[in-house]
Amino acid sequence: MWKEMSKKEADKEYKKLIASNFTPSLRDNEFDEKLRTGIWELHEETLREMDISEGSKWGYKYDYAFGLKLFDFLQRGEFFLPIHLAASTGVWRFLSVNIMPDIVHRRWGDSPVRFYLQPNRIWLKTLWWYSFLSWQGDVESTKATLELNSTDTIVQLVERAGANGYRVDMSRELMKQFGRLLKEENIDREETFRKVMKLNTARTRSVEPGLIEGGTESYVRDLIEYVKK
């Protein structure tokens, strides 16, 4: 029941959204209705748990908490989103434009880039991939790993896929070690993570993290230690 929406279709629907003040346009089926209801409940849970008011400005605090709930929700039951569909921009256009446009609009305003226009900037898509690449086995463990990061961390992690795509094990180990580092030391979080990601991009052109002595854990530790010098 997942729909993949083309850019042309999304462009047409987005114009309708503007006219309707970003009111959802669900298909006449139970799947869309239950999907929206489930995600809306996650949204409300996030506001309550993170003590965020509807009238306040949402930022990273909302993004990472809601993103983790969304990722977990889409890993089970009838709304299971397999990896090949999560990699499809069309699915995220459908979720953003048809199912949850009011939430996307509340976060980003009238921003076609965040709804459907630019694949690596579609907000719901970036939240899912940020959670996937940071996953530590369950929501609470991952939440503890990500809580001190920022919106720039999402950008750096999700947009630096590399020539051969994401190295999932390496990304998860990086987020685990970086999360611990932030709790232990007074560092410039954004600048340090940006340097780590740039260094990783350069090194993985000639090195496979899992094949070095000590494996991925050692590779990530060396990255962070080098940047901290």
DSSP string, 9-34: HHHHHHHHHHHTTS-----SSHHHHH
Q: Among 136, 5, 118, 114, which residue's Cα sits nearest to residue 63?
A: 114
Within 13 Å of residue 183, how many CA atoms lie on the same side as its CB? 10
pLDDT at 121: 95
Percent of the chain with pLDDT over 70: 97
pLDDT at 228: 84
Q: What is the average pLDDT score of the chain?
A: 93
Contact call for residues 175 and 166 (beta carbons, < 8 A):
no
In Å, the largest CA–CA distance within the chain is 58
* Distance, C-alpha 173 to centroid of its chain: 17
pLDDT reading at 93 higher than 60: yes
In angstroms, the CA 227 to CA 229 distance is 6
pLDDT reading at 12 higher than 80: yes
pLDDT reading at 185 higher than 90: no
The pLDDT confidence band at residue 189, using thresholds 50, 70 and 90, is confident
> Domain extents for the chain?
1-147, 160-229
Residue range 152-184, pLDDT digits in tens: 999 999 988 765 688 999 999 999 999 988 676
Measured on CA atoms in the order 52, 138, 226, 158, is the torsion positive or negative? negative
pLDDT reading at 76 higher than 60: yes
Q: Which amino acid is at 39?
A: I
At residue 223's C-alpha, the angle toward residues 187 and 84, to 5°, is 105
pLDDT at 187: 78
pLDDT at 198: 94
pLDDT reading at 57 higher than 90: no
Length of the chain, please? Answer: 229
